[in-house]
Amino acid sequence: MNTDAPWLGVIADDFTGASDVAGTLAGAGMRVVQTFGIPDSLMQLDNVDCIVVSLKTRSVPAAEAVKESLVAARALRSRGVQQLYFKYCSTFDSTPEGNIGPVADALRKEFVPAGQVTVVAPGTPALQRTVYNGVLFAGTDLLQESSMRNHPLTPMTDSSVPRLLQAQTRNVVGHIGYSVLEAGTSAVQSRLRSLSDKGVHYAVIDTLTDRHLAVLGAAALQHPLVTGGSGLVGGLAVALGLRDTPDSRRDARPSGPAAVIAGSCSEMTNVQIDTFRQSRPCFLVDPVAAAEGRDVVGEALLFARENLADGPILIHSTTTPQEVSRAQEELGQARAAQITEDSLSAIAEGLVALGVRQLIVAGGETSGAVVRRLGITTARVGKEVSPGVPWLTTKTGPGLAILLKSGNLGTRTLFLDAWEHNR
């Protein structure tokens, strides 16, 4: 292995998922840079072990997701990356048309030797996402019985990962059960070879514990392409051997006025907002009012001017699934989402102009819109505030400490506690 080149290049299908996997790698002692969009050849990405490329391809047309993912993979390989990792959500967020299957197929075709089975491992026990007999659980709930069944863009109504993936690909999908993981690395490698001999292209892997991830990481360390949630990168890091990253090499996190922008409608984000509002001021952005011509951006920034000096504030479009459905019925799903993203990203830009230098953004689509509006292209990854949720220090755009949170991640008090974490 070329130790001067990054050992791992991650292609993530949304921005918060990229932060999730980047935080896992940083927590394993790796030097990690996260890029927002595809890094060009002039971007300085030196002295790093891992490059995490954040794309916004989870909900776009499949052909677009495939094109962007391939360009990202080629850019990573041009920098000498040894292994590619296609990162999707630990709840396998997708539709019957994709985009997980089409992207994985395209990456396999270009980067995987004929006959080699590609690992599919969404399970991330640290986030209470486990796979047992190919069935995905969110905590103790079947995926289809969890809050993901109400997701506005990718409602998950089936819990079988092999079945979900098979609907998205013409390649053959197989499965490796937890008993093989319990038997160790050699048993997993033997099972992968057996599946290959039978013409199987993808192997969905049971993962119930971090030990299973470590076993799988060792088994897949030499694979040119691995796919999964954020858990398996930790297993790969264990297999590679941890590298200590002294705190002195971490970038100092900017300080200053603080704000939260929440566009996720997940149950956990709603809990986090309810906890925050008990002691701090909140402002609700209504996409229907924005569509009717009300200046919701101006109203939100006036609210910010009046409250920022007293501590963190929160601006959100998050509300109940019933209210989300109402907005989608009135505006249409695509228009409701676009108005929300446009409003929240414009508010973020206004907050930075008002002096905000610490910013939490909740929701994958919202995070993508905010990062692009602010012109951020790279960030150094710090330690996690909680599993899957690290602070980032921007290297481009305004000098910010920014935390991009997937909707379901974090503790109920995250919006109150994150500001002083590892400062």
Question: Model confidence over 398-418: pLDDT tens digits?
Answer: 789 999 998 888 999 999 999
Lowest mean pLDDT among 169-183, 267-281, 311-325: 311-325
Lowest mean pLDDT among 47-61, 101-115, 218-232, 318-332: 318-332
Digit-coded pLDDT (tens) for 366-390: 998 999 999 999 888 888 898 889 9
Does residue 9 surpass a pLDDT of 90? yes
- The percent of residues in the chain predicted with pLDDT above 90, rounded, is 63
Mean pLDDT, range 202-231, rounded to an integer: 96
Q: For residues 207 and 231, what is the distance between their CA atoms, to the nearest angstrom?
A: 9
pLDDT band at 320 (very low <50, low <70, confident <90, very high): low
Task: Pick the most confident of 44-58, 95-109, 150-164.
Answer: 95-109
Alpha-carbon distances of 63 from 39, 70, 98, 170, 337, rounded to whole Å: 20, 11, 10, 16, 21
Q: Which residue has the tokens 């602070």?
A: 391
Mean pLDDT, range 173-198, rounded to an integer: 97
Identity at 301, one-letter amino acid code: L
Q: For residues 283 and 185, what is the distance between their CA atoms, to the nearest angstrom?
A: 51
- The percent of residues in the chain predicted with pLDDT above 70, rounded, is 94
Digit-coded pLDDT (tens) for 188-199: 999 999 999 999
Q: Which pLDDT score, from 0 to 100, does residue 286 have?
A: 86
Q: Which pLDDT score, from 0 to 100, does residue 151 have?
A: 79
Please, are residues 61 and 25 in contact by the beta-carbon 8 Å criterion?
no
Digit-coded pLDDT (tens) for 233-277: 999 998 887 554 444 345 567 888 999 999 887 889 999 999 999
pLDDT band at 280 (very low <50, low <70, confident <90, very high): very high
Digit-coded pLDDT (tens) for 386-397: 888 999 999 766
Lowest mean pLDDT among 189-193, 279-283, 290-294, 359-363: 290-294
Please, are residues 185 and 218 in contact by the beta-carbon 8 Å criterion?
yes
Does residue 147 surpass a pLDDT of 50? yes
Q: For residues 161 and 379, what is the distance between their CA atoms, to the nearest angstrom?
A: 33
All domains of the chain in start order, with CATH: 8-240 (3.40.50.10840), 250-420 (3.40.980.20)
Whole-structure pTM value: 0.81
Does residue 32 surpass a pLDDT of 70? yes
